[in-house]
Amino acid sequence: MGMTLKDKVERVEHTEVRIPCGNACLYGDLALPVGFSGLVLFAHGSGSGRHSARNRQVAQVLQNAGIGTLLFDLLTATEEQTDVQTGEHRFNIALLTQRMQDTTLWVTAQAQFKAVPIGYFGASTGSAAALIAAARLGGRVAAVVSRGGRPDLAGPVVLASLQAPTLLIVGGADHDVIELNQDAYQLLRCEKQLAIVPHATHLFEEPGALEQVSALAADWFQRYLNNTDTSQEAWR
């Protein structure tokens, strides 16, 4: 008899972590299912954080599929307060990218993750940061998923150099963002897919829309984070 959803949830270990990033310290929520096959780092969009209900819903589906997740704040508490007033950090792609890189290097330096495939899930502007960091880190990042993202902000050079298999998910009613994703998709040279969720708007608030996003993401990560042929050189 297979495990119930309750059994799967109870077999997930939850830990709050502190991540050193330069002179800053970021807080994150690490969730590891028993026997997890990979770890997905979440890059949230502008004005959001590790407590994003949408990202947490996606993360739980990934955990149920046997994939670990790390939701973390890309900004410190002080930076968040400043951003609420000025909005100066939410579109600072360079800062968000550096935080993604630093967090990835911190994760892969931990003994339990040294040979674990790493994936990125980016939303909105966080997608650009995830794509740039994945391009810079090369073989350290095994797969990327973008939800309602702005991959165009990564730039054509980065998109053309990206190696990690990349899934772009866009809402069918998010017309401007569809066009931006279609343009970015043409520039990608890696394994890729563009998935459009019918009738969904930018935040995927329609009934069943986020469930479709979660299923697409879980399928993509299961496909590419379970690759046992990953070169060990990529993790050194």
**Which tokens in the block code for residue 112?**
């339990």
Among residues of the chain, what percentage have pLDDT more than 70? 87
Write the CB contacts of 68 (distance below 8 Å, at least 6 apart in sequence): 30, 31, 32, 33, 36, 38, 39, 40, 62, 116
Query: pLDDT tens digits for 85-112?
Result: 666 666 789 999 999 999 999 999 999 9
How many angstroms separate the Cα of 6 from the Cα of each of 10, 60, 75, 151, 212? Answer: 6, 12, 33, 36, 21
Low pLDDT (below 70) residues in the chain: 1-10, 45-48, 83, 85-90, 227-236
Q: What's the pTM value of the predicted model, to 2 decimals?
A: 0.90
Q: Return the pLDDT at 228.
A: 45
CATH no. for 16-81+94-226: 3.40.50.1820
* Amino acid (one-letter) located at 184: A
Q: Return the pLDDT at 79.
A: 83
Query: pLDDT tens digits for 14-35?
Result: 999 999 998 899 999 999 999 9
Provide the 3-class DSSP secondary structure of residue 121: strand
Q: Return the pLDDT at 5.
A: 45
Domain ranges within the chain, ordered by starting residue: 16-81+94-226
118-123: strand order across its sheet: 12-21, 24-33, 68-72, 39-43, 118-123, 141-147, 166-171, 192-197
Q: Cα separation of 105 and 87, whole Å?
A: 27
